[in-house]
């Protein structure tokens, strides 16, 4: 449908969609940076979606039963910002639109969660928004099963581009969604045939409709510039019993005489001269950033349309029992139940008394038995490693199309898709996701894990087989650099517990920390219980603490995490037998230790003694604790890895690479 026909047949629609287009053109031009072509191409689809289908209320952006709209093609962020401004979101002012991509503006280069109301997730890295949306839809289905469709009944809509569908994570996401039959997930593909390099045909021949259908989706198609056809496709998609993909045929840079259907409209301003021509073609005579009052009022009416549905929902929620309503509010707010702390304390006491020798992956399973019993909002899972990750506890049931009340997800071998779906669940609210794989495979989940940290959300990663201690699988599976990589990521709590007590404390912190994701790094090999004296306090919350004090004059401080704390304790015995006073510091979470005040850090790591760190990974990062924090390079040593591992039983590997109590004691003595 050409512009003249569109204006003639659908004048009201045309004016509303044109407002989105000119805001995108003007903001990108003012910033001299951005992507105008996608908003210009998808403005018709977005207008129909918001006007006729999306359930939302601009005056109540956090209404729990709103439909979720995710702009996976985040480079087209001005489409979302324009929608939020025009429909009346209070914080998305015209001043923010004018300051697109400028310092301090909420209109960032790509939509970022937490910057502005109505942004459901951070997008930009392509494919992430699509994969997040699978998690949103899973959370909706889980909550509907728990609280009923009178309280939870909404759709998740996604606008995705060619780049979203080319990224490998997209296949993990759509296959998972198809398997789960997430019928309230609708993806609108901006099929404009253009990427940064030029025609998509330069690099891809995928038949996307057939691909989605093969993954268990229902597939629809429409002319992305014909509002009646768009509405027809959306109506059909909403009635689908399976997830739905709508192939929206569009023109990137719609209406630009020089740049429509070219990569020139993709990632750069159109230019003042071209914008003037587009305005003439559109019949838009208004200055930059000026929206006529009648068009703005029409959009604001769309933004207010959901107020009646919200009021009806609030009445239904008010009819719930006091207990059920309070429970709904609690899980939506992401608050852990009050009984969690007592349950963890009781568990710790039992462990300190019985002192089992078990792998911390098994310790995690034991803690999860407690945590899952008092937190019905948890949804666990594993990337095809359930028996290895120990993430399944009794009574959870399987979450699938036949049992939405189940709380365990079989993600298949989809680490990246799993991590991104968990982010979507956490962002949706009402559920607490956790999922497992091997620590080495954080390489596959890394993109989503970084976004967990950037967004500041409660996503918990259970990463087992944490070192050369996994043994015979060899160096392909033995992580050596992964702890350093994770610790280098801002706003991430990396827990490497030394025993079952520390594992319980790590889980308690993961469940109660609202704005930071947690990574639990767990062993395959058995470890003794080192915390045999019960403490009601969560010592791991301090990040590091004195596990064993020196006898006599303190001359050595041994620092270690996880499985190497046992080695440090044995090295202490060797040194103490020689009259060398040795303190052992367990450091289950560097990030939390760094957050303590200096007085506490000085108490744990005072100046003077020799310091030796022991960890079955690379040294990178350890010098912060060895040489800084009142330490000195000439009195610092490290016992660990400086290369990749090997295939052999764990004891043989530790001996081969010199990660032993004897080597640790010798390193300390050499520095005295």
**Is the CB of residue 79 less than 8 Å from the CB of residue 92?**
no
Pairing of strands 526-527, 358-359: antiparallel
The answer to whether residues 492 and 460 touch, using CB atoms and an 8 Å cutoff, is no
Active site residue 472: no
- Residue 542: left (phi > 0), alpha (psi -120 to 50), or beta? alpha
* Residue 5 CB partners (closer than 8 Å, separation 6+): none
Which residue, chain included where needed, has tokens 């993806």?
A: 187
How far from chain centre, in Å, is Cα 625? Answer: 29
The total number of residues written for the chain in this structure: 672
Alpha-carbon gap, residue 398 to 388, rounded angstroms: 18
Max Cα distance, the chain (Å): 94
- Between CA 593 and CA 513 the distance in angstroms is 15
How far is CA 653 from its chain centroid? 35
Residue 424 is encoded by which pair of tokens?
């979507």
CA angle 656, 660, 661 (to 5 degrees): 160
Query: What SS3 state is found at 466?
Result: coil
Phi first, then psi: give them for residue 518, nearest 5 degrees.
-125, 145
DSSP 410: E
- Could you report how far apart the first and last alpha carbons of the chain are, in Å? 82
Angle between helices 322-333 and 307-318 (to 10 degrees): 130
Cβ-proximal residues to 537 (8 Å cutoff; 6+ apart), any chain: none
- The answer to whether 123 and 72 are in contact (CB under 8 A) is yes
d(Cα 206, Cα 208) in Å, to the nearest integer? Answer: 6
Residue 558, strand partner residues? 584, 612
- How far, in Å, CA of 568 to CA of 360, rounded? 17
Q: State the DSSP code for 403.
A: B
Measure the CA dihedral 591/597/601/603, to 10°. Answer: -150
Cβ within 8 Å of residue 538, ≥6 positions away: 344, 505, 508, 509
- Which one is catalytic: 415, 502, 566, 591? 415
E strands present in 192-277:
194-195, 198-199, 218-223, 244-249
Structure tokens at 101: 């991509």
- Closest of 209, 227, 229 to residue 219, by C-alpha: 209
The pair of three-digit structure tokens given for residue 139, joined into one six-digit string:
């959370």
Its sign, for the CA torsion 164, 122, 61, 84, is negative
DSSP codes joined into one string, 574-637 = HHHHTT-EEEEEE-S-HHHHHTS-HHHHHHHS-SSSEEEEE-SS--TTTHHHHTSTT--GGGEE
Active site residues: 415
């Amino acid at each position: 449908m050409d512009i003249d026909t569109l204006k003639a047949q659908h004048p009201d629609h045309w004016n509303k969609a044109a407002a989105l287009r000119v805001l995108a053109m003007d903001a990108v031009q003012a910033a001299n940076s951005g992507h105008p072509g996608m908003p210009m191409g998808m403005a018709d689809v977005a207008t129909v979606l918001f006007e006729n289908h999306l359930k939302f209320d601009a005056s109540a952006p956090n209404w729990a039963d709103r439909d979720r709209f995710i702009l996976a093609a985040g480079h087209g962020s001005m489409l979302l910002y324009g929608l939020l401004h025009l429909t009346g979101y209070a914080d998305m002012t015209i001043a923010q639109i004018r300051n697109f991509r400028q310092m301090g503006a909420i209109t960032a280069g790509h939509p970022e969660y937490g910057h502005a109301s109505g942004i459901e997730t951070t997008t930009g890295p392509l494919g992430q928004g699509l994969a997040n949306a699978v998690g949103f839809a899973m959370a909706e289905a889980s909550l509907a099963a728990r609280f009923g469709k009178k309280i939870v009944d909404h759709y998740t809509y996604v606008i995705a581009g060619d780049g979203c569908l080319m990224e490998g994570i997209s296949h993990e996401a759509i296959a998972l969604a198809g398997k789960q039959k997430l019928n309230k997930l609708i993806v609108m593909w901006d099929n404009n045939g253009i990427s940064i390099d030029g025609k998509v045909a330069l690099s891809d021949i995928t038949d996307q409709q057939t691909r989605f259908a093969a993954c268990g989706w229902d597939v629809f198609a429409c002319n992305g510039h014909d509002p009646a056809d768009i509405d027809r496709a959306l109506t059909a998609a909403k009635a689908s019993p399976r997830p739905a993909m709508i192939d929206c045929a569009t023109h990137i840079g719609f209406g630009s005489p020089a740049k429509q259907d070219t990569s020139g409209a993709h990632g750069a301003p159109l230019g003042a001269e071209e914008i003037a021509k587009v305005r003439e073609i559109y019949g838009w005579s208004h200055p930059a950033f000026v929206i006529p009052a009648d068009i703005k009022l029409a959009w604001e009416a769309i933004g207010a349309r959901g107020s009646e549905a919200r009021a009806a929902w609030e009445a239904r929620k008010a009819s719930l029992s006091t207990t059920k309503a309070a429970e709904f509010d609690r899980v939506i707010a992401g608050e852990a139940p009050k009984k969690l702390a007592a349950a963890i304390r009781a568990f710790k006491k039992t462990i300190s008394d019985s002192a089992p020798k078990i792998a911390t992956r098994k310790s995690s399973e034991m803690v999860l038995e407690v945590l899952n019993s008092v937190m019905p909002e948890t949804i666990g899972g594993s990337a095809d490693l359930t028996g290895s990750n120990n993430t399944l506890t009794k009574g959870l049931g399987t979450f699938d199309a036949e049992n939405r009340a189940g709380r365990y997800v079989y993600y298949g071998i989809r680490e990246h898709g799993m991590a991104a779906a968990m982010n979507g669940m956490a962002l949706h609210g009402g559920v607490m996701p956790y999922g497992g794989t091997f620590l080495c495979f954080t390489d596959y989940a890394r993109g989503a894990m970084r976004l967990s940290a950037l967004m500041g959300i409660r996503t918990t990663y259970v990463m087992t087989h944490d070192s050369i201690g996994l043994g015979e699988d060899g160096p392909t599976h033995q992580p050596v650099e992964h702890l350093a990589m994770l610790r280098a990521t801002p706003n991430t709590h990396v827990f490497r517990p030394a025993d079952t007590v520390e594992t319980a404390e790590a889980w308690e912190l993961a469940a109660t920390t609202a704005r930071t994701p947690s990574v639990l790094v767990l062993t395959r090999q058995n470890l003794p219980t080192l915390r045999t004296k019960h403490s009601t306090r969560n010592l791991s919350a301090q990040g590091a603490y004195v596990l064993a004090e020196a006898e006599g004059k303190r001359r050595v401080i041994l620092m270690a995490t996880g499985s190497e704390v046992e080695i440090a304790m044995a090295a202490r015995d060797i040194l103490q037998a020689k009259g060398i006073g040795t303190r052992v510091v367990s450091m289950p979470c560097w990030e939390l230790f760094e957050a303590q005040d200096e007085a506490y850090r000085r108490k744990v790591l005072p100046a003077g003694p020799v310091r030796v760190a022991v960890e079955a990974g690379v040294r990178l990062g350890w010098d912060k604790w060895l040489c800084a924090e009142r330490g000195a390079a000439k009195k610092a040593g490290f016992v660990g890895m400086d290369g990749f591992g090997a295939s052999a039983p764990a004891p043989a590997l530790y001996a081969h690479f010199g990660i032993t109590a004897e080597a640790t004691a010798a390193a300390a003595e050499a520095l005295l």
